[in-house]
Amino acid sequence: MTSRYQEMHTRSLQDPEGFWGELAEDIHWEKRWDKVLDASNAPSYRWFTGGQLNTCYNALDRHVEAGHGERPALIYDSPVTGTIQTFTYAELRDQVARFAGALAKLGVTKGERVIIYMPMVPQAVIAMLACARLGAVHSVVFGGFAPHELATRIDDATPKVVVSASCGIETSRVVHYKPMLDSAIEQAKHKPEHCIILQRPQERAALKPGGDLDWDEAMASAGPAACVPVAATDPLYILYTSGTTSQPKGIVRDNGGHAVALKFTMHALYDMKPGEVFWAASDVGWVVGHSYIVYGPLLHGCTTLLYEGKPVGTPDAGAFWRVISQHKVATLFTAPTAFRAIKREDSGGELMKKYDLSSLRALFLAGERSDPDTLKWAESHLKVPVVDHWWQTETGWCISGNPLGLERFPIKYGSATKPMPGWDVRCVAPSGDEVKPGQIGSIVCKLPLPPGTLPTLWNAQERFVRTYLMDHQGYYQTSDAGYIDEDGYVFIMSRTDDIINVAGHRLSTGAMEEVLASHPDVAECAVIGVSDELKGQVPLGFLVLKASVQREEQAIVDEVVKKVREEIGPVAAFKQALIVPRLPKTRSGKILRGTMQKIADNQEFKTPATIEDASTLEDLDTVLTDHGFAKARKH
């Protein structure tokens, strides 16, 4: 018998227009589409061309008009400020409409960009939805990035307005957002016309007369703005993510395909019903926050939870259980690292016993591979399905997972289960030929990708094609390696590029190398990701100093650590660099980062046949052993 999942998956690939066309009926359209799938510019595909809609209308107004105005839309729970605040759908709609009015007064219109650089406060969500209401394009920048990174994004997105806050609160540390914003604008070539600043009681920022506006004043003097219909293919947002250079990639998300796909996942994957509470414990600065703190739950009429706190330390490792029981969370979504942090402090799950967790039906994990120990620990304590699901900023939603709303597959530890409907996932050798089940290869997805995935990169269509579509004709290159087993389960093992995953945050080692290389005493450098019990991976730098350098080595290491924090941000968690006499390289001069990583992680390694000088590996091993890493295991 064909299962419901199998039937949907097969249909989605054989008849994508019929499949997605039917699901699109769940969205309110101002004008129906002319074509579900437009392949006229393949390999760039577009969904729902000719259609018009407004994403904010679908997320808010539509529910109010259907009589659900009193339903909670957003619960803000902030242990760091001692605040809990609930917004009903009607209240959130009114606040969003008013803030859209404030933006419109500053000249923000359809297609105009607005950068949002904010902590986890409701105003961040309000600002995002207000942009969507006007058809303006938001670009949220994660607060853990330094001014230099913000400046890069300002120059690429060229926003008319930046929305920010006086400060953020990282457990007990106050993060001074406004001075960082000022510094970013100073560094950027493009100058936004205005900044709207939310003054938080924990710290008030000095506003510059003329350009800077106070959030409360802007709201008080604005009237509500109506929803502006936009083309399904118009951009809703740009979200920058790490690429292989220090120039981040601006992932573009459209309006139509995004709304259709996210609404579908809310029931098919997360098994949620309107009115239930969905909690993505992430940050609005990441794709998980965009899709599942803001748009997905609201499009589906759920209550979303915005949590300004950490899994541990706010105040303890019972924080998640307190939130689940207090707000009756049905589904929690977070990164495995959060559970590793909780497990480290409360391995017996004692704090869990203090709370009623009966509302919780499932836990979803993503952002990095769920290590089987952590997954089993969560399963045994929570006694609900724990789903590892795989996705990327580029895709906006899950490529493979366990679609609890369709069918619950038995869990295989270490696997992100099966491709979701819409996804044709293959594992290929460098030749492009598919490998046998169980064999490691590059994971690619057959084009067209389903709705909601990136149609292009902002201002960089050529880079989009080169990065994702050129390696294997007709396929999207995920840059993840892994295997697919004989039952069709997908196992994602590692990246094939220089991206590392630090506490579920995606970072480029190439960008860190650029910072290290700019230090005047550094002749050459490399950065690799080494295994870390809490964060999954952390960056480790290797420096070769210029021959003339006579300074104390530790001072140079301290300087490069500070430089990465200042130029990329604290989120890079770059805390360690080692000085080595030489770097291991191939005869053609390529640094052997993969072998270096194996040595640092104490995995077995083979000396590559192409190595220029094998003694460089011995030297590296000695330095690592001197710094507390285990002696390498040569194969």
Q: Which residue in 227, 286, 231 sits closest to 254, CA to CA?
A: 231
Q: Which is nearer to ligand COA, 33 or 364 (CB)?
A: 364
Q: In this complex, which beta carbon is closest to ligand COA, that of residue 59 or of residue 80? A: 80
Q: Which of 246, 282, 477, 597 binds ligand COA (CB under 6 A)?
A: 282
Q: How far is the CB of 292 from ligand AMP (least distance, A)?
A: 12
Among 175, 465, 523, 579, binds ligand COA (CB under 6 A): 175
What track of x and - describes contact with ligand COA for positions 316 through 335 (by CB under 6 A)? ------------------xx
Find the distance separating the first CA and the last CA of the chain, reported in whole Å.
48
Triad 22, 25, 29: Cα angle to 5°: 135
In the complex, minimum distance from the CB of residue 142 to ligand COA, in angstroms, rounded to a whole number = 6
* Main-chain dihedrals φ then ψ at residue 406, nearest 5 degrees: -110, -45
Decide if residue 79 touches ligand COA (CB under 6 A): no
Place of tokens 């029931």: 267
Q: Are 320 and 280 in contact (CB under 8 A)?
A: no
SS3 sequence of 258-310: HHHHHHHHHHHCCCCCCCCEEEECCCCCCHHHHHHHHHHHHHCCCEEEEECCC
Q: Which is nearer to ligand COA, 288 or 375 (CB)?
A: 288
At 533, the amino acid letter reads: E
How far apart, in whole angstroms, are the C-alpha atoms of residue 522 and residue 30? 58
Beta pairing class for 194-198 and 161-165:
parallel
Least separation in angstroms between CB 125 and ligand AMP:
20
Distances from the Cα of 408 to the Cα of 32, 68, 299, 419, angstroms: 34, 31, 24, 13
Stretch that binds ligand COA, among 81-89, 315-323, 347-355, 567-575 (CB under 6 A): 567-575
Q: Which is nearer to ligand COA, 242 or 282 (CB)?
A: 282
Residue 338 binds what, of ligand COA, ligand AMP, none (CB under 5 to 8 Å, by partner type)?
A: ligand COA
Q: Taking contact as CB under 6 A, which single stretch among the options 24-32, 88-96, 268-276, 565-573 is the one that binds ligand COA?
A: 565-573
Tokens of 139: 């670009």
Q: Least Å distance between CB 145 and ligand COA?
A: 8
Q: Residue 242 has which token pair?
A: 């790490």
Out of ligand COA, ligand AMP, none, what residue 335 binds, judged by CB under 5 to 8 A for its kind, is: ligand COA
Contact between 323 and 77 (Cβ < 8 Å): yes
- Part in contact with ligand COA (CB under 6 A); list of ranges 355-363, 421-429, 570-578, 613-621: 570-578
Give me the residues that bind ligand AMP (CB under 6 A), please: 241, 287, 366-369, 388-393, 416, 480, 492, 495, 501, 506
Q: Among residues 23, 150, 251, 288, which is the contact residue for ligand COA, using CB under 6 A?
A: 288
Residues ≥6 apart with Cβ < 8 Å to 581: 544, 619
Nearest one of 158, 297, 165, 329 to 238, comparing CA atoms: 158
Tell me whether residue 19 or residue 295 sits nearer to ligand COA (CB atom).
295
Rule CB under 6 A: choose which of 170, 203, 497, 521 binds ligand COA: 170
Report the C-alpha gap between 272 and 265 in whole angstroms.
9
Angle, alpha carbons 455-456-461 (nearest 5°): 145
Q: Considering the rule CB under 6 A, would residue 308 count as an interface residue with ligand COA?
A: no
The answer to whether residue 286 forms part of the interface with ligand COA (CB under 6 A) is: yes
Q: Does 338 bind ligand COA (CB under 6 A)?
A: yes
Sign of the CA dihedral with 103 first, then 105, 106, and 112 last: positive
Q: How many CB atoms lie within 10 A of CB 216?
A: 11
Query: What does 58 interact with, of ligand COA, ligand AMP, none (CB < 5 to 8 A by kind)?
Result: none
- Closer to ligand AMP by Cβ: residue 314 or 501: 501
Within residues 483-512, the interface with ligand COA by CB under 6 A covers 502-505
Task: Please identify, using beta-carbon distances, which residue of 47 and 391 lies nearer to ligand AMP.
Answer: 391
Residues in contact with ligand COA by CB under 6 A are 143-144, 168, 170, 175, 281-283, 286, 288, 310-312, 334-335, 337-338, 341, 367, 502-505, 570-571, 573
